[in-house]
């Protein structure tokens, strides 16, 4: 019986406790749509007590048991004692801040906010919060009242003065626009930074402020709202004053004053001047001066605008012309300019024949002309350099046995410091002379010819001291050297032996052998000397380079394939060629053919008044056989004279 009563009492006790327990359990279903709005919230109180009051109103628009967020983060502040419509409600928090749970409908609430951090107060508002107002003593919110807050941060500054170390660096530049640049470093001791001021006594117009949470210009002061223990603030803009002062009221700071090259400045000051290397700000102009100054220092600046000379706007540092001349008379030229340009928009190039290709800074450009001359846009290079390439074609008559060939060289109106021209020719032609530049000849230098005549003539006199013998002997030896170096060496050795035989007695064998050895050494030295100096070897006084190749480009007429119906004939005469051309497309390169030899000449300081004009006197190597025949006749004459008693 007792057990029965105990069961009844236990059941009654459980039924009594169930309502109380269920009243404390709140299940938030976040899968259903939820929407709320905090219409207006007011924070009030004395910030020095680290306790503020919260008053506000809002509405849950959609949903049940909706999380309504107030402030965060939980590590910085504490939200407590929230009362909604006269009823105290529990407060919880998550990573978005403190919140309470409300049902659908409008509500009004109040509560407390405790500050847990010294110095600045950072409030995180998850929102949405339409309006947040402040009524705070001994503090203020940066930027004042806030509106339309969502996932936002608000900083509240304390009004108490914070011990701060300030290091300033100030630069004033007189240029097309007078510009200032301030860099100020702040460091707080013990607390967070707050409100700081920069004086605007130099007619500053603030354009940019970097490093501050917020800023405002109030009269002649720039008000900075700073956060944290350290801050580096950069202020820039324009100014209008020739009487300068340091913008900070305390301390000694670096000041740099400069002007652009178009202005001359004279600085009068009682501040201490220091070396530019001691300045923390780098100068932009070469006339900069650096000082250490305080708020009491004064700078009086006299600015004089200088008259300007016209500047050289564009020039060509080096020009390289490469021209290939085929036996049929086809002439393909390649031009490269390494130029500098700061003020010229277009370049006019006087290129003989037909332009085929142009490129600026390695990118092909369309070929344009003005007044019949190639007219190309010239990219600016600033302080660097650029490259301009072009290829052109000219046709002439076929090369004969001998003649004067005009070399097509492109010129421009821009001044050229050094222009190098390399002409490629078939290997079976020899350049006798080049008009328009020094060098460019394959004929041996005069001093080499004189030395050859003296040495070989002396050897001839040793053989037969007769004018009718020496002159033909020199001609014969010259032709022999031109024909083959080995035969020339054999002839020199034979001549030395004959000289020894003539002048040494038959009984003086040992002296004969010694003399023969000396003369052989002399002969070998002579041969090597002539080879090095290039006498009759095809290496001219200009140091031209002969390159033997198996052949060179020959243009033959052939029926065009079906896809090539728009071939154009370039030039006239035997050197004319047919190429595909089309308007509106980018040009492609036509490489120079690999011919047998090359001759290089150089012109210096080429201008509009002194353009490069080159022509070459050439002869076919077939004419050498006439020289060989003449040398053979001279050799026979030598033999006849030598055999006479």
Contact 479, 627 (CB under 8 A): yes
CB atoms within 10 A of CB 607: 12
Instruction: Say yes or no: 171 and 248 in one domain.
Output: yes
Question: pLDDT tens for residues 25-70?
Answer: 445 555 678 889 889 999 998 887 888 899 999 999 888 889 999 8
* 179-188, strands of its sheet edge to edge: 205-210, 230-238, 179-188, 164-174, 253-259, 289-293, 272-274
Instruction: Say yes or no: 148 and 82 in one domain.
Output: yes
**Which helix (DSSP H) or strand (DSSP E) does residue 35 occupy?**
strand 35-46
Q: Strands 51-62, 35-46: parallel, antiparallel or unpaired by DSSP?
A: antiparallel
Q: What is the DSSP letter of 67?
A: E
CB atoms within 10 A of CB 375: 14
Instruction: Return the pLDDT at 178.
Output: 96
Q: What is the DSSP letter of 545?
A: B
The answer to the question of residue 550 being in a domain is no
Instruction: Say yes or no: 84 and 214 in one domain.
Output: no
**Residue after which a domain boundary falls, among 102, 130, 158:** 158
At a CB cut-off of 8 Å and minimum separation 6, what does 476 contact? 631, 632, 634, 635, 638
Q: What is the pTM of this model?
A: 0.57
**Residue after which a domain boundary falls, among 105, 134, 158:** 158
Instruction: Say yes or no: 196 and 226 in one domain.
Output: yes
Instruction: Return the pLDDT at 570.
Output: 78
- How far is CA 223 from each of CA 137, 195, 206, 249, rounded to the nearest angstrom? 20, 7, 11, 14
CB atoms within 10 A of CB 438: 12
Q: Is the peptide bond before 250 cis (omega within 30 degrees of 0)?
A: no
- How far is CA 282 from each of CA 254, 264, 288, 310, 542, rounded to the nearest angstrom? 12, 19, 9, 29, 51
SS (H, E, C) 214-226: EEEEECCEEEEEC
What phi and psi, each to the nearest 5 degrees, are found at residue 441?
A: -115, 140
The answer to the question of residue 607 being in a domain is no
The answer to the question of residue 183 being in a domain is yes
Instruction: Return the pLDDT at 320.
Output: 93
The answer to the question of residue 604 being in a domain is no
**Residue of 184, 183, 180, 182 lying closest to 166 (CA atoms):** 184
Report the number of distinct structural domains present in the chain.
4
The answer to the question of residue 590 being in a domain is no
Residue stretches of the chain with pLDDT short of 50: 1, 7-10, 13-26, 535-562
Helix, strand, coil shares of the chain as percentages rounded to 5? 20, 45, 35
What phi and psi, each to the nearest 5 degrees, are found at residue 27?
A: -105, 120
Instruction: Say yes or no: 451 and 417 in one domain.
Output: no
The answer to the question of residue 409 being in a domain is yes
DSSP state string for 276-289: GGG-SS--SSTT-E
Question: pLDDT tens for residues 296-351?
Answer: 999 999 999 999 889 899 999 999 999 999 989 899 999 999 999 999 999 999 88
Q: Per DSSP, what are the bridge partners of residue 606?
A: 416
**Residue after which a domain boundary falls, among 158, 185, 207:** 158
- The CA distance from 210 to 226, in Å, is 11
Instruction: Say yes or no: 282 and 294 in one domain.
Output: yes
Instruction: Say yes or no: 361 and 245 in one domain.
Output: no
**Residue of 556, 554, 555, 573 lying closest to 396 (CA atoms):** 573
User: Domain containing 323 — which CATH number?
Assistant: 2.60.40
Residue 494's domain comprises: 444-539+621-645
Question: Dihedral of CA 63/65/69/72: which sign?
Answer: negative
């Amino acid at each position: 019986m007792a057990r029965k009563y105990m069961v009844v009492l236990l059941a009654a006790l459980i039924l009594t406790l169930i309502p109380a327990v269920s009243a404390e359990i709140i299940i938030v279903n976040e899968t259903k749509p939820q929407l709320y709005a905090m219409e207006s919230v007011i924070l009030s109180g004395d910030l020095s007590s680290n306790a503020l009051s919260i008053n506000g109103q809002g509405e849950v628009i959609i949903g049940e048991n909706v999380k309504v967020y107030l402030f965060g983060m939980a590590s910085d502040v504490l939200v407590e004692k929230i009362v909604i419509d006269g009823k105290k409600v529990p407060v919880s928090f998550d990573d978005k801040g403190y919140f309470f749970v409300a049902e659908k409908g409008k509500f009004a609430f109040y509560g407390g906010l405790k500050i847990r951090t010294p110095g600045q107060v950072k409030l995180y508002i998850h929102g949405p919060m339409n309006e947040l107002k402040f009524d705070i003593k001994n503090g203020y919110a940066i930027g004042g009242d806030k509106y339309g807050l969502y996932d936002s941060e608000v900083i509240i500054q304390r009004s108490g003065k914070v011990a701060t170390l300030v290091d300033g660096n100030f630069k004033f530049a007189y240029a097309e626009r007078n510009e200032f640049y301030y860099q100020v470093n702040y460091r707080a001791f013990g607390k967070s930074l707050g409100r700081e001021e920069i004086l605007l006594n130099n007619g500053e117009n603030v354009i940019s402020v970097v490093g501050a949470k917020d800023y405002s210009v109030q009269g002649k002061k720039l008000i900075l709202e700073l956060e944290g223990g350290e801050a580096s603030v950069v202020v820039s803009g324009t100014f209008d004053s020739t009487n300068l002062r340091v913008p900070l009221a305390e301390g000694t700071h670096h000041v740099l004053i400069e002007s652009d090259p178009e202005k001359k400045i004279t600085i009068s000051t009682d501040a201490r001047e220091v070396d530019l290397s001691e300045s923390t700000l780098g100068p932009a102009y070469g006339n900069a001066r650096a000082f250490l100054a305080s708020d009491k220092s004064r700078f009086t600046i006299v600015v004089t605008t200088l008259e300007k000379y016209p500047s050289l706007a564009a020039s060509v540092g080096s020009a390289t012309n490469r021209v290939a001349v085929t036996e049929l008379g086809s002439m393909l030229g390649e031009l490269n300019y390494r130029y500098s340009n700061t003020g010229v928009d277009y370049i006019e190039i006087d290129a003989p024949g037909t332009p085929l290709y142009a490129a600026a800074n390695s990118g092909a450009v369309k070929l344009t002309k003005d007044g019949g001359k190639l007219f190309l846009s010239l990219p600016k290079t600033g302080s660097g350099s650029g490259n301009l390439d072009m290829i052109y074609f000219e046709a002439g008559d076929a090369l004969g046995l001998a003649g004067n060939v005009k070399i097509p060289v492109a010129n421009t109106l821009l001044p050229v410091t050094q222009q190098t021209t390399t002409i490629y020719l078939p290997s079976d032609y020899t350049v006798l002379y080049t008009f328009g530049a020094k060098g460019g000849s394959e004929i041996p230098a005069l001093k080499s010819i004189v030395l050859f005549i003296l040495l070989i003539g002396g050897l001839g006199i040793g053989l037969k001291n007769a004018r009718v013998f020496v002159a033909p002997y020199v001609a014969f030896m010259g032709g022999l050297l031109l024909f083959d170096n080995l035969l020339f060496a054999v002839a020199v050795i034979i001549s030395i032996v004959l000289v020894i035989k003539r002048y040494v007695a038959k009984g003086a064998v040992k002296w004969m052998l010694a003399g023969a050895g000396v003369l052989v050494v002399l002969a070998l030295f002579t041969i090597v000397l002539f080879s090095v100096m290039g006498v009759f070897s095809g290496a001219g006084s200009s140091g031209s380079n002969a390159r033997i190749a198996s052949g060179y480009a020959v243009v033959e007429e052939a029926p065009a394939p079906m896809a090539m119906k728009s071939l154009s004939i370039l030039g006239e005469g035997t050197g004319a060629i047919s190429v595909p051309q089309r308007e509106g497309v980018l040009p492609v390169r036509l490489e120079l053919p690999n011919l047998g030899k090359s001759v290089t000449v150089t012109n210096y300081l080429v201008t509009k008044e002194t353009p490069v004009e080159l022509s070459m006197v050439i002869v076919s190597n077939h004419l050498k056989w006439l020289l060989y025949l003449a040398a053979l006749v001279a050799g026979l004459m030598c033999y006849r004279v030598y055999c006479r008693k």
